Amino acid sequence: MSSSDLYNTKTAFFLSAYQTLINRALPDSSSPDYIPTLVYQARAHIALNDPAGAISLLPPNSENVALKAVSALARYVSATESSEQEPILEELRDLAVEIEGDDVEGTEHDKLTVRVIAGTAFARAGEIEEALETLGSETEDLEAVAVIVQIYLSINRPDRAKKEFERAKNWAEDDVLLQLIESSIGLVAARDGYSNANSFYTEQLANPSLSSTHILTARGVTRILRNEIPAAKSDLEESLERQKGGDAETLAACVVAAGIDAKKSNEADELWTRLSTEHPSHPLVVDVEQKSRLFDELCSNFPVPPLAVAA
Amino acid sequence: MSVMLTKFESKSNRVKGLAFHPTQPLLAAALHNGSIQLWNYRMGVLVDRFEEHEGPVRGVNFHPSRALLATGGDDYKIKVWDIRPQNRRCLFTLHGHLDFVRTVQFHHEMPWIISASDDQTIRIWNSTSRNCIAILTGHSHYVMSAYFHPKDDLVVSASVDQTVRVWDISGLRKGSPNTSTGPGNFESFDTFSTVKYILEGHDRGVNYAMFHPTLPLIVSAADDRTIKIWRMSETKAWEVDSCRGHFNNVSTALFHPKHELIVSCGEDKTVRVWDLAKRTAIQTFRRENDRFWVLASHPNLNLFAAGHDSGLIVFKLERERPAFAVHQDSLYYIRDKYVRSYDFNTGADLGLLSVRKFGSVYVPPRTLSFNPAERAVLVTISSDNGLYELTSLPQQAQGEMKDSSVDGKRGAGQSAIFVSRNRFAVLQKATQFIEIGDLANTVVKKIKPPVQTNEIFYGGTASLILSSTSTVVLYDIQQQKTLAEINSPPVKYVVWSNDGSLVALMSKHTITIANRTFTEHSLIHETIRIKSGAWDDSGVFIYSTLNHIKYCLPQGDHGVICTLDNPVYLTRVKGKTVHCLDRSGRPRTITFDPTEYRFKLALLKNNYEEMLYIIRTSTLLGQRFPEIALHFVQDTNTRFELALECGNLDVAMETAKTIDRPECWDRLAQQALKQGNHKIVEKAYQQTKNFDKLSFLYLATGSTDKLAKMQKIADARGDPMSRFHNALYAGDIEGRIAILREVGLNPLAYLTAKTSGLDDLALQILETVGMTEADVDDVPAFGTSILKPPPVINSTADQNWPVVSTGQNFFDQALANGSLETGIEPAYVNGDAAAGASSALDAWAKDEEVQDDLDPEEGGWELDADAGAAQVTEEVEEDATPDEDLPGSTPGISETEHWVRNSPLAPDHVAAGSFETAMQLLNRQLGIVNFVDLKPLFLSTYRSSHTYLTPVASLPPLQLHIRRNPTETSMSRTLPVVVRSLASVRTELGEGFRLVTGNKLAEARDVFRSVLRSLLLVPLASDDEARTWRELVTTSREYLLGVSIELERRRVAEEEPDNVSRNLELAAYFTECKLQPPQVLLALRSAITVFSKANNQFDAARYARRLLALNPDAKVVAMASFFFARQRIAAGERNPRNAVELSFDPYTPFEICGATFTPVYKGSPAAYCPYTNQAYLPEFKGKLDPLTQLSEIGAAASGLPAPW
């Protein structure tokens, strides 16, 4: 088992307690935990959509493959043009090949991290096949499995996701991440009325050594899926309150919950306005805007006759 | 039995006799030194002491129903005591025995006392006449004990002559032969009592013998170190068996009042427990130095007392605390070795599982942990050095109860609890290991706890709470590390709040309330032993001690809620109800009044709304509440605030004095001003030296003398402006002039004098400045000034009147507001409608929820699944099982595609994002052509049908699709969530009704249009829903039509005032719309008004009749309308003519064209709106429906299909 600090760091990362993670002190640079902790902190910055923070954290000119990969991911996320992104993907491809050799700097764990990060970047770029290949079909790294599973879920292949999960269960029982994977699958495949995800998030909420608003949001989302709208709203509102602002995900879920069987239509609309101005790139915003354009186009399919009025 | 639970111990001289009070927690102990102690064993207090016997006291007994105590001692006397504290004394003494008295006992119903003595006799005394009524002779040595049978007329005695005798005393009951017999005349009544059986078998003297409470058994204890059990029949008695084990004289042996047990004690310094059926020893409790002399059992409770050389102990033989666990609305608990479930809501109490074969039969299970995910229980028992058993509960109660031994998985351990869905933890106390097991009972992990652990509790996910002797530790199992540690006496029970944010750690005399990370905590001390606790919904901890139920607020404030006769074990608190298990393990509820702590909590949080609610609903506050509120508040500032809120000026004044800050006085003054209490205003102004306001106040109250004083004060302050002010207010012209002169404003002074007619003074002023009147003749002449303060009509200077009643305070206002929130509606201004009726009409409008009396037009509602929709489903080819063979990275079928396939209803297609098919469906089914206005609905529906979550960092979030049937497993039946429901649309419709009643017709029209748009996006799931849907469409249509007609009428009335006939027609059409009674009433009254104004008295009368035919109920509105309508009918009868001819025939059935607002008579051609079924003149076919602006009039449409 890895050391307690690293364990905490990992758990915090998996359960999306990014701010907690960032606020933790780095171990001594000679410690074996130093590189992994640094990588996780950098990844937490990236997850919080602050790639600059990640880059500033990383020591320049490090030869460590994991650090190089993370830095690439940070740059990839901050790049907006595909022309900027493509060379970074190339860089990651090279790294993924490099780690097959023996003469690179970094532990086995670092090499696995490279795969996970490269896979993440490829998946973001929509290169599904390449991502899956990089992560490896026989991998025994649970983080890689988490990425693989989510990729499968995002392309509506819960069957493959389940297979990966069953495979991972053989060697990684009891890991928090495995439970998270299971609950994600449950959310997409809607098994047992979402009870597994619900109890997983409820359990994690009761975990005294960690507190993450993401978990609260996740349970709120689960409760929406379970059609427990008032309970969902209370989770989401608490999450918003505790975040003192609200991330896109919580806000988006609030919009959704507020709209379901709403007594007051304006509540959802106010939230929506807030979401679409604060987080214009959230998939919900993008998607709905696209649907809005679609609607306008479709309207023209139906010619509107003149209004019937008394002569 | 592994424990003898000592409840109380006292040190004293040797204890020879003991007796429990039958109802109160009192124990009488007779001491060798001659005193009798009365202990409250629950509180551990010596209540009283009786010291009149000379020499040792051996026998002691309470009267079963009265506050009496009988004692017998070595002074040969029997004394009867009144033990009531106010009356405590020896009532009388019974003389007669000639040697030591060994035991005394009251009869359970007769006024008899029985005594056993070393004079070899047993005597029965009448405690009323205080005479000896029987002497039982026959024993040939000391009689060591003599007791009545609990029901029959029998006595059992034990003697040093080695016999136990059973006596028949039935003769005693028949007569009372003793009345004429004086003391010493024993022989005469000896015949009333005879020896029935002599039980021989003991080899030494017998010390004690008693009857079994229900069975025909006798137990005896003797110096031959044995306990013997005897059985009796009607005719004989014989020895059954002996219990051997004591290695010295046995002093007492008792039958357990409830269980098949015998408890004995002896001079070998032990208390022993025996199985009555098997006559085997179960348990031995040993004492170092003290020989046991006497044992007593409580008549009803599981409680014993034993007297020894240096005092007494009170003990229980088994834990009474039932093992239980609470999950949501269910309590799982163990009674009589059965796991049962109890539903808090319904009270259903079911046996689920037998645990009889688990551990020792004599020991009840100690704890129970419930796992809702697996519906499994983990039970522990303290016998055999600690065992646990993991069993699943049957889904419901079965005919034959499942026994846990069938599939139970057992192991050794002192404490065992579930830590997650699939893991449980077991404490091995001796080796100090915590084992984590899975559901198959295999140990997956072994943990060495960081402290000496005596008990483990659930500590949140993957965490444990470890209780050690001086600390309690929050421990993470996965990381195997201590998260936090709090100093505390040994924690015995742990209770988590409902939301898991707080935890109560209970030890014997303390409760620690901590948050879930143990970072914050507070401690409460109790002198009385703490038994149990449960969290209230509002985060208040309710706990029980031996004799109270108490509350504890988060900040540590605690207090008593109610007193308990017997301890209870709280399981849950919900509102005013405490659910608990009593000491026999039966569920009970106790209702209490949470007002006090709720109020305190509300005060702490400054939550006036909550306080308001409490005041509104509470029964406690029959009195005026401010007293109560103020009573609770200690803090002066809060008190002041509250007093202001309540309008309690006296308290506010008092607290303001203590606080004494300007802003307080200002606020007090404001509030007092509002209430008209100018005395307090005055004081407040004085305090803050607010002279200007003070002066004005004196002016307002007409307090001229005070104004004069103010002038003086101003003078003293050297403030001429203020002096002038006050002079002005007081009407003191000389004063004003004097001030003006003083400050050198002579011209003004002169003019003032002049205009006030004070010519002399004016001259004087001129003189002082050395001028004459001639110098100022260029000054224009002013008329005499009439400027003066208004005269005082009613002097209120000395009265505090009128004062607004202090009842008019925050709470009352809020109360009033609460009821008015939805109540105030603008009046419907329709002609000369009596204003008084409008508010009553509003009341009617509220009944709009009652839709039943509507008679919507039924029809055009084709429920058969027809071609239009079927086509859509056919278009998508059916391939439900595509997944397995596809290569890894090929995308699968999205859930939204399934939704589209599974439903022929537009709303579901919208939710799936398939707007194109949704539009096609609406077009085909309902003829909708104009979609522009539907855009917000489409988008909001789509928006609320999907949600996003990012489980893995930096990957795009997963889109999750919300189903309305979350438990559905087959993809071919999943459907999207209901974003718009019939209920929500109905609410919107109700809003429209209110707007109509409130005469906001244009807004109402918008609402009805919106309702009709919303209805297009309501997914339907049954015929019932479809019917309701159609009713809602029809109702909305009728209202939309009616409102449009009325708007048109108003336009005509305004823009074409000469077009009276059109005006009248439209008014008439409005009444034809199928509205609900309140709004029909409005339409009719509007029509009556318009028609009678136009002098169409006949028609007006017709509408008036219709209005009466509506038969409005007994409401106030009826009176007004009735009167009004009668008047019109009378006018119509006087003058049955119409001044204006109308161009429609009211006697042929007709519909109203929605475009022209003209009649479409029955039988004439018409075009219909395919959605609402609104009629139109045929020439409008192919045009856009002007009412809804959604559909094409006369378009072919299939109606909605039935997908269910």
Task: Tell me, yes or no, if A310 comes closer than 8 A to chain B by beta carbon.
Answer: yes
- What is the predicted pLDDT for the residue at B860? 35
- What is the predicted pLDDT for the residue at B209? 95
Could A291 and B915 be called an inter-chain contact, meaning their C-beta atoms sit closer than 8 Å? yes
Residue B1021 has pLDDT above 70, yes or no: yes
Give me the interface pTM, i.e. the ipTM: 0.92
Q: pLDDT > 90: what percent of chain B?
A: 24
Could B939 and A291 be called an inter-chain contact, meaning their C-beta atoms sit closer than 8 Å? yes
Decide: pTM greater than 0.80. Answer: no
CB B437 within 8 A of CB B466: no
Q: What is the mean pLDDT of residues B81-91?
A: 89
Measured between CA atoms, how close is B431 to chain A, in angstroms? 24
Structure-model confidence comparison of residues B368 and B972, the more confident one = B368
Pair of tokens at residue A102: 């023996």
**H/E run at residue B580:** strand B577-581
pLDDT tens digits, one per residue of B859-887: 333 333 333 333 333 333 334 344 444 55
Q: What is the mean pLDDT of residues B147-156?
A: 92
pLDDT tens digits, one per residue of B9-42: 899 999 999 999 998 889 999 999 999 999 998 8
Question: Chains A, B: CB contacts under 8 A, how many?
Answer: 267
Structure-model confidence comparison of residues B186 and B103, the more confident one = B103
Q: Chain B partners of A152 at a C-beta cutoff of 8 Å? A: 888
- What is the predicted pLDDT for the residue at A35? 87
Mean pLDDT lowest among B398-412, B611-625, B893-907, B944-958? B611-625
Q: What is the 3-state secondary structure (H, E, C) of B911-939?
A: HCCCHHHHHHHHHHHHCECCCHHHHHHHH
pLDDT range class, residue B632, cuts 50, 70, 90: low
Could A249 and B967 be called an inter-chain contact, meaning their C-beta atoms sit closer than 8 Å? no
- What is the predicted pLDDT for the residue at A267? 83
Rounded CA-CA distance A223/A229 in Å is: 7
| Residue entry with tokens 């209370």 | A234
Could B943 and A249 be called an inter-chain contact, meaning their C-beta atoms sit closer than 8 Å? no
Mean pLDDT lowest among A205-219, B396-410, B477-491? B396-410
Mean pLDDT lowest among B641-650, B772-781, B859-868? B859-868
CATH 2.60.120 describes domain A212-301: no
Which A residues, 283 through 302, put their C-beta within 8 Å of a C-beta on chain B? 283-284, 287-288, 291-292, 294-296, 298-299, 301-302
Rounded CA-CA distance B673/B138 in Å is: 96
Question: Strand B481-487 relative to strand B226-232: parallel, antiparallel, unpaired?
Answer: unpaired
Best mutation target, A116, A160, A281, A295, to test chain B (most B CBs within 10 A): A295
CA-nearest residue of chain B to A309? B1155
Pair of tokens at residue B175: 């007569």
Q: What is the mean pLDDT of chain B?
A: 81
Phi/psi of residue B1075, nearest 5 degrees: -95, 180
CA-nearest residue of chain A to B964? A227
Identify each DSSP E strand in B602-742 by its residue range: none
- What is the predicted pLDDT for the residue at B613? 65
Best mutation target, A43, A46, A124, A261, to test chain B (most B CBs within 10 A): A261
Sheet with B292-297, strands from edge to edge, namely B5-11, B311-316, B304-308, B292-297
pLDDT range class, residue B1117, cuts 50, 70, 90: low
Residue A246 has pLDDT above 80, yes or no: no
pLDDT tens digits, one per residue of B919-950: 988 888 888 888 888 888 898 889 889 899 88
Angle at B154 between CA B149 and CA B159, to 5 degrees: 90
Rounded CA-CA distance B753/B732 in Å is: 12
pLDDT tens digits, one per residue of B580-627: 998 888 898 988 877 777 777 777 766 666 666 666 555 443 334 454
pLDDT range class, residue A126, cuts 50, 70, 90: confident
Rounded CA-CA distance A69/A88 in Å is: 10
Phi/psi of residue B717, nearest 5 degrees: -80, -10
Could A221 and B949 be called an inter-chain contact, meaning their C-beta atoms sit closer than 8 Å? yes
Q: What is the mean pLDDT of residues B270-277?
A: 90
Measured between CA atoms, how close is B1185 to chain A, in angstroms? 6
Q: What is the mean pLDDT of residues B1110-1131?
A: 60
Which B residues, 490 through 509, put their C-beta within 8 Å of a C-beta on chain A? 500
Three-state DSSP state, B820: helix
- What is the predicted pLDDT for the residue at B312? 93
pLDDT range class, residue B217, cuts 50, 70, 90: very high
Which B residues, 923 through 982, put their C-beta within 8 Å of a C-beta on chain A? 923, 928-932, 935, 938-960, 962-964, 966-969, 974, 977-981
Rounded CA-CA distance B418/B436 in Å is: 9
CATH class of A1-135: mainly alpha
Q: What is the mean pLDDT of residues B277-283?
A: 85
pLDDT tens digits, one per residue of B1133-1176: 777 777 777 777 777 788 888 888 888 888 788 888 888 888 88
Q: What is the mean pLDDT of residues A185-199?
A: 83
Structure-model confidence comparison of residues A246 and B246, the more confident one = B246
CB B293 within 8 A of CB B32: no
Residue B612 to residues A160, B616, B648, B731, Cα–Cα distance (Å): 58, 6, 16, 48
Which B residues, 860 through 889, put their C-beta within 8 Å of a C-beta on chain A? 883-884, 886, 888-889
CA-nearest residue of chain B to A307? B1184
pLDDT range class, residue B808, cuts 50, 70, 90: very low
pLDDT tens digits, one per residue of B717-775: 888 888 888 888 888 888 888 888 888 888 888 888 888 888 888 888 888 888 777 77
- What is the predicted pLDDT for the residue at B367? 92
pLDDT tens digits, one per residue of A267-306: 888 888 888 888 888 889 999 999 999 998 888 888 888 8
Q: Chain B partners of A156 at a C-beta cutoff of 8 Å? A: 891-895
Could B939 and A288 be called an inter-chain contact, meaning their C-beta atoms sit closer than 8 Å? yes
- What is the predicted pLDDT for the residue at B624? 41
CA-nearest residue of chain B to A207? B461
Best mutation target, B949, B987, B1193, to test chain A (most A CBs within 10 A): B949
Rounded CA-CA distance A164/A119 in Å is: 16
Could B944 and A268 be called an inter-chain contact, meaning their C-beta atoms sit closer than 8 Å? yes
Question: Strand B15-20 relative to strand B281-286: parallel, antiparallel, unpaired?
Answer: unpaired
CB B143 within 8 A of CB B158: yes
Q: B577 burial class (0-12, 13-18, 19+ CB within 10 angstroms)?
A: middle
pLDDT range class, residue B839, cuts 50, 70, 90: very low
Residue B132 to residues B72, B113, B146, B157, Cα–Cα distance (Å): 14, 9, 15, 18
Residue A1 has pLDDT above 50, yes or no: no
Could B891 and A155 be called an inter-chain contact, meaning their C-beta atoms sit closer than 8 Å? yes
Q: Chain A partners of B483 at a C-beta cutoff of 8 Å? A: 208-209
pLDDT tens digits, one per residue of A163-185: 888 888 887 767 788 888 888 88
| Residue entry with tokens 């069987």 | A261
- What is the predicted pLDDT for the residue at B854? 36
Q: Chain A partners of B1172 at a C-beta cutoff of 8 Å? A: none
Could A225 and B947 be called an inter-chain contact, meaning their C-beta atoms sit closer than 8 Å? yes
Q: B425 burial class (0-12, 13-18, 19+ CB within 10 angstroms)?
A: buried
Could B979 and A308 be called an inter-chain contact, meaning their C-beta atoms sit closer than 8 Å? no
Could B916 and A188 be called an inter-chain contact, meaning their C-beta atoms sit closer than 8 Å? no
Q: What is the mean pLDDT of chain A?
A: 85
Measured between CA atoms, how close is B1189 to chain A, in angstroms? 8
